[in-house]
Each structure stands twice: as structure tokens, then as C-alpha cells.
A and B are shown apart, each in its own frame.
Chain A
């Protein structure tokens, strides 16, 4: 998987991860993949909602030891 941008939003509380992701997505083009790391437990529902609302696709997500990882594709 060709990740164009990695964004580490670990340690940030809501809405930090979503804000960093929005800024990161601005630097990318259609089809590009971005990986976001977060520790905010709210980020799981937030990224699902953000993806549905903005049209950017949430193509992968996993979590381990209180860390969450999301892969999003620019629409």
C-alpha cells in the first residue's frame, strides 16, 4: 500500500486528530492515501463520520494497545 502521508495525532484529544487529518488531506490529491495514528478513543467514530461526510474513503482501520490507525483515501 502506497501511503503518501503519515500523520501522527497521538496524544491529541478531540478534535485534534480530525483537524490534523483535514490539514493533511489538503496537501494530497485524488486517490492518495493518508495514514493517521491517534490515541483519542473518540477517533474511531469520528473518522467514520468524517469519512462519510467529506467523501474521503476510510479504507483501513485497526487498533492495538490503545492506539488507533486509520488509512484514508482522498476523494
Chain B
């Protein structure tokens, strides 16, 4: 019973915080006055002045897109350089060497696309400089880019016969200054109060109570405690749906996530802004019901997913229970499938995180998804394959879902034989083509990538498990890249030149194709006039629309991925039950 209460409260806290934050973000992005304006407005003006930004410039969609691409390309090049040259840079007390070119390319693509796929372990592969000045910076700016593109689309719907869709640099500055930086500071302090590390000292070694004798007879008497500026990076990794852990095992590590309270903060943070943006969208579009309808579609998918994972993980597998020789009950313990899960989190807190992190394109973990039951591991994979639209990444989840909404009104329009319209704007062939690009980028990226990888014999060496589960590891890797998620079936060794480069390319493709398509939609919408609402207009705020939207999302996901899923988790589930 306690676990049901946990599930319900996690969801309630999320919604209760998302609604006011949504209002706040909407005000910030509309340029209205907010609580922090008194302090931050002068800073904002200062930034424009120093950087020679003309904040009054209203950009065309091409200029806006050009700015996004230029900014991301510069980020990609400089971050790759930092990672390869970290040996020669400051803040490296452990003297960690540079990354190989392919791992550096993979890592920078990953962080520039808000994916945070990690083919390395942070505590042994990165200096403090790379973590703070390289990765943390991307953790801040990539969710900001997501919010910018979302707001460009919103303005596209609002503007009438107009060319501009806003100013990219102003949108970036506002989302960073008023939203991401203040929230991160609060979360950092809360996390440090729970024991998350935050320092710039070298790694510490402490004595072991029982020395360990290794197989070759060496006696090990000490244990290492990796140090570093962890809390500050963990805060924005959660808030920005980035997900790249400071340590290899991410938020399962007691150093990154030591208590149930630190976990509560991190877990709510990871879904908070994507959920809040639904309400920001409704307020900014001046029709709150539109935001609520999209939120509801996402929330229903979230709750159903959570139910399946929670049930599967509590039930565990016959292989684990051993006909009752192992106690899986909930008496004085969490029970269930505890392989890859931490005692302080148990089943409820781990399952909730697994669903939140793959619904949002966060990808941080507090338990090892590779060790989930076949069904418990399939749902997170499916959530990524749906294109990360169940809340999804900051900004990108919602604009992805709006792509699906356009597709939905088009299909519904076909059924009743009317020209489709959304938010008062007519949907014409050009917008439809772009919306299809948004919806299909993820399936194309995942299926092409994993298809090629599966055909290469060398890929087998990277697998940690055999049989159907081995295929699941591969499929999960490309699903994670293709959803810009970043979580992993972590036994999979992805650090090979082929995997690094191909996964890197998939991440770039699925991030920037939808961004360009959405900005193109924004541009053409802005130029259109509003159409009058008539009796024949399909309502996009009622239960019918919510149902249709969910249906279209699932239909595209199911049609694209059912064959692949049946070779992986579904086959494994049947084998496990001895069928």
C-alpha cells in the first residue's frame, strides 16, 4: 500500500509544481514582468549591450534557424576540442587524458543535442574542466534552445500576416537567466544539503574495513571517493532533461543521489519543465484549454506506462524467485526485482524514475534499466521510440507533440472531408510535409541505425547479455539516441569507432531535422491569416481530440517498432516464462 501512495504523490507533486511554473515561464517568454525582473532585467539588458544584440530585431524563420544552427555548430566544435585536449587544460587534478576523436565526437554530439548518451564513465574519463566548462554549459543551453524553438512555433500560430517569429538571442537569454539558472541554483543547494558532493579537490582514498584480495593475489586496502563539482552539474542535468551523469552509474550513485529526499528533488526536476511548458503553451496561445488537452494526452500515456513498469518490477522473474528460495515479498524490504536497484529507492522510486526519465528525454537513471524484467525494460524503450513526446525534452517534447497534433487534425480532417486547421490556422501541404518529418525523424533514425549495426558482425562484441536480451541492448542504444534520451542498457559497450560515429550521427539527425521542420512550420504559419471558427471546425480541446492524439502517437510507434520489439523484449519475456 505504501508504494501506491508513493506513485500517486510523485504524480501529484509534479502537477502541483508544473502549473505555477508554467505560468511563470509563459510570462518570462512573453516579456511580461515577473518576480525576478527587478534583479534580472538589468542583467538581461547588460548581456544585450555587451554582446551587441539588437533585441528588437524580429527574425524570419530562416534567420532564426540559422542562428540555432550556427550556435549549435560552434558548441559542437569547441566541445569536441575541449574533450580531446583536456589533458592540457586546467582543473584536472587526476591528470585524466584526452578522449579519442570518435568518443569526443560522440560525446559532443550527445551533449549538443540534449541527449547525454555517454559511452564513457565521467569519474574516470573527464576532468573537472570538461565537466563544468564543457558539459554543464551545454546542459544549460540545449534546453534553452528547446524553449526557444517552442516559442518560435507559438508565435507562428499567434502572428497574423507577419514575417518574424521572434529573436533567438533574446529567447535564449530569457530562458537561461529567468528559468534555468535560478532553478538550478535552488536544486544545487538542496542536493548538497543531502550529501551530494560539490568541491574542486582531488579524489580521496579511504581505508577499507576488510581488505580485498584480488584473483592475482594483490591485496587492496583502500577505496576511492571520486570528488568534483557534482551537485551543480546534477541539478541542471535533471532540470534541462539532459541526463548525463557526473558518475558512470548516474543518479544510482550514492554520491549523486544519496537519500530519498535528494531523489525526490531530482526526479521531480527531470519532468518539471516539460510538464510546465504545456501550461505555458496554453497561456501564451491565449487558450488554456489547448495546453490542458496536450498535457492530458501526455499524462495518460505516462500513467499507463508507470502502471506496467511498476507491476512488472514488483513481480520480478521466475529466474530470480527460484521457487520461493529468494524472498521477494514486501515485508521489511522493497522486494521484487532488486537487481540493479538501490536499497534506498526500492521498486516504487526506481520504477517511477525509469518511466519519468524515458517519458521526458532526460535519460538519467537511478537504477540499471539493463537489469529490468523484459516487460519493465520494454516500456522505457517504447517511450523513447514514440519520439519523446510524452512530455519529452524541454521544449522539444512539446513541439514534437504539436507535430503529432497537426498530423492528428489532418487525419481527422480526412475522415470528415474538411480542410484541417489547428489553433485557428489552416494546415496546408507544406506544413503537413514538415509535420511528417517531425514525426518520422525518430523512427527513421532508430531503425536505420540499429538495422545497420545489427548487420555488422563486430557489434556482437559490444553486448553484455546473450540472446534476445542482447538484441534489446542494441535496440535500446539506438532508441535512446533516436529519442535524444541518453539512457542505456548500460552493459552495452558503445565505445567503438563505428558505434560512436553512427550513434553520434543519429543524435544530430533527430535533433536538428525536427528543429528545422518546426521553424519552417512557424514561418509559414506566421504569414497566414486566422480562419474563422465554424460549426465544422474540429475541436482540439475535448476528450475526443485527446483520444485521437494518443491513438496517432501509438499507431506510428506500434507500426514502426512492433517487429523490432518482438525480436527483443517480447521474445525474452516468452522465454523467461518458459513458453
Decide whether A and B are members of one complex. no
Which residues of B are at the interface with A, using a C-beta cutoff of 8 A?
none
Which residues of A are at the interface with B, using a C-beta cutoff of 8 A?
none
